């Protein structure tokens, strides 16, 4: 697969990637455009896809009495799958959005609109990532495999959502939090209400962080007709974000209570309930820092949601261990 020649100064870097990231520094030159397609130079998306998986494993373990050895593979398999499927999803997104990306300052440096990779090459790369991810999925139980296959539908639809709805972040949330359902089922063998409520909590959390993210592009989006919750909410964004914060914390709290009552010890229940409350305090901190007219602050706060989700995973895991 050939790549466009690059100058040492620019080297095909993407505008919103971390400066000095490992892709730009040490990845073989031929691989860099494909790793950039997968957002390997911007790892936050992998974290946001992975963390609901870890929530699902930890809450399922707390529900069934604690972790088992197989959960180590489930956690690792979810991490590998999140990296690969996030890469495949981003590649698909860049294929479908290549004309839109060319008209937005932040995204015109991406590999397809900048000419580093052709659409055909991107399709081949998408298939490679999806096949490896499917091989990992096949090591899970049958219900989890079926859920993983179903998840392809929202992944395929999401890039088109901003063309027909002001709420494309809902479609992102549907896709990005599917791991909460899949991981619970991979541990327990069946689906029940606690993971569904946990999934909804994650979906609402996605509305929170991706609205912040979308404020970076609202001016360009308005010019080219792309819809988003950032444009929809406008100066009322803080009110909406506050509502999303409360709803996400409440839904995760309900999921914990449904999963653990009436048999869990008071210590396990208390520690597990710290997960949504710790996330809520971190989201509140983000709101205090937010300036919707400052793209740099929006990007930094969006990235900080890795820590938001890790707080939830940490307390749910501690709750499962005690």
The 10s digit of each residue's pLDDT in 112-123 is 998 899 999 999
pLDDT of 136: 98
Confidence of residue 186 (pLDDT cuts 50, 70, 90): very high
- Among the listed ranges 5-14, 25-34, 61-70, 213-222, which one has the minimum average pLDDT value? 5-14
Within 10 angstroms of residue 236's Cβ, the number of other Cβ atoms is 9
Structure confidence by residue, pLDDT tens digits, 311-320: 999 999 999 9
Q: Please state, for a pLDDT cut of 90, what percent of the chain lies above it.
A: 81
Average pLDDT over residues 58-73: 97
Q: At what angle do helices 193-214 and 168-176 cross, to 10 degrees?
A: 130
Residue 94 CA to residue 111 CA, distance in Å, equals: 8
Contacts 24+ apart (CB under 8 A), 99-103: 100/224, 100/226, 103/220, 103/223, 103/224
Residue 279 CA to residue 310 CA, distance in Å, equals: 8
Average pLDDT over residues 210-218: 94
Is there a contact between 60 and 116 (Cβ–Cβ < 8 Å)?
no
Nearest Cα to 51, choosing from 73, 78, 71, 70? Answer: 78
How far is residue 309 from each of residues 155, 206, 220, measured CA to CA in Å? 21, 11, 29
How far is residue 21 from each of residues 101, 188, 298, measured CA to CA in Å? 22, 38, 20
Is there a contact between 199 and 52 (Cβ–Cβ < 8 Å)?
yes
Residue 109 has pLDDT above 80, yes or no: yes
Nearest Cα to 142, choosing from 191, 176, 78, 93? Answer: 191
Residue that has been written with the tokens 């509305």 in this structure: 207
Residue 26 CA to residue 132 CA, distance in Å, equals: 23
For the entire predicted model, the pTM comes to 0.91
How far out from the chain centre does Cα 122 lie?
A: 21
Eight-state DSSP code of residue 294? -
Nearest Cα to 179, choosing from 53, 21, 13? Answer: 53
Torsion angles phi and psi, residue 244, rounded to 5: -65, -40
Q: At what angle do helices 70-96 and 152-164 cross, to 10 degrees?
A: 40
Residue 76 CA to residue 257 CA, distance in Å, equals: 27
- Both tokens of 4, joined, read 């466009």
pLDDT of 11: 55
Nearest Cα to 49, choosing from 207, 176, 185? Answer: 176
Residue 196 CA to residue 76 CA, distance in Å, equals: 22
Structure confidence by residue, pLDDT tens digits, 261-308: 999 999 999 999 999 999 999 999 999 999 999 999 999 999 999 999
Is there a contact between 129 and 88 (Cβ–Cβ < 8 Å)?
yes
């Amino acid at each position: 697969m050939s790549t466009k020649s690059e100058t040492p100064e620019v080297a095909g870097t993407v505008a919103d990637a971390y400066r000095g990231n490992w892709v730009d520094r040490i990845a073989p030159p031929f691989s860099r455009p494909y790793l950039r397609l997968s957002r390997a130079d911007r790892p936050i998306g992998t974290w946001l896809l992975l963390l609901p998986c870890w929530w699902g494993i930890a809450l399922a373990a707390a529900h069934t009495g604690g972790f088992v050895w197989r959960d180590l593979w489930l956690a690792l398999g979810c991490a590998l799958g999140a990296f690969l499927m996030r890469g495949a999803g981003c590649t698909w997104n860049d294929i479908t959005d290549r004309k839109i990306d060319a008209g937005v300052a932040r995204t015109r440096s991406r590999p397809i609109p900048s000419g580093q990779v052709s659409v055909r090459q991107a399709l081949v790369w998408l298939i490679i990532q999806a096949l490896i991810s499917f091989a990992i999925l096949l090591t899970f139980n049958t219900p989890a495999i079926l859920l993983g296959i179903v998840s392809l539908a929202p992944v395929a639809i999401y890039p088109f959502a901003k063309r027909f709805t002001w709420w494309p972040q809902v479609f992102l949330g549907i896709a990005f939090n599917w791991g909460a359902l899949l991981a619970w089922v991979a541990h327990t063998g069946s689906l029940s209400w606690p993971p569904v409520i946990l999934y909804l909590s994650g979906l609402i959390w996605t509305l929170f962080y991706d609205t912040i993210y979308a404020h970076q592009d609202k001016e360009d989006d308005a010019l080219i007709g792309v819809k988003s919750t950032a444009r929809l909410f406008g100066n009322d964004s803080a009110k909406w974000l506050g509502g999303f914060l409360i709803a996400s914390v409440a839904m995760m709290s309900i999921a914990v209570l449904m999963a653990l009552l009436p048999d869990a010890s008071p210590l396990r229940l208390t520690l597990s309930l710290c997960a949504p409350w710790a996330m809520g305090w971190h989201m509140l901190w983000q709101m205090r820092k937010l300036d919707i007219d400052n793209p740099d602050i929006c990007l930094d706060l969006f990235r900080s949601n890795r820590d938001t989700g890790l707080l939830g995973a940490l307390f749910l895991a501690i709750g499962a261990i005690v």
